[in-house]
Amino acid sequence: MNFLQKLQSKPKKLRKKIMWLATGASMILVILIWLLSFPKSFTAEKKSENQATDQPKLPSFEEIKNNIKDLKQEFQDIEIPEVTDLETINVPKLIDDDYENIIKKELLQLPLE
């Protein structure tokens, strides 16, 4: 007879005790493995925290907001000259001269803001 057949031939109360003992023993084994691996995971977590502190910090929201305000002011200070002469507009020579003149006229009609 093999182990399972011997176990099945025992009374029901004894089989339940064996079941609970086996369950308890396996849980103790799982808890031991977990406890033994816990320090390793804790040190790995500390290492990743140390690496995170070595990286440069991101700017705060206020710093980003101030940078955006500065950039807006710089863009407002840029002066864009008005183009009124057709010769100052450079269009690539990938098109015919007729189309080039049409494009230049269209560009002159665009509102500059």
Cα–Cα distance list, 84 to 49, 79, 96, 101 (Å)? 61, 16, 22, 14
pLDDT, residue 22, reads: 94
pLDDT, residue 30, reads: 94
Please state the pTM of the whole predicted model: 0.36
Residue 90 CA, chain-centre distance (Å), reads 43
Cα–Cα distance list, 39 to 31, 34, 62 (Å)? 13, 9, 40
pLDDT, residue 108, reads: 72
Taking the C-alpha atoms of residue 44 and residue 21, their distance in angstroms, rounded to an integer, is: 35
Tally of CB atoms within 10 A around 27: 10
pLDDT (tens, 9 = 90+) of the chain, 113 residues, equals: 688 888 889 999 999 999 999 999 999 999 998 888 877 766 766 666 656 555 667 778 788 888 888 888 887 777 766 656 555 556 555 556 666 677 777 777 767 65
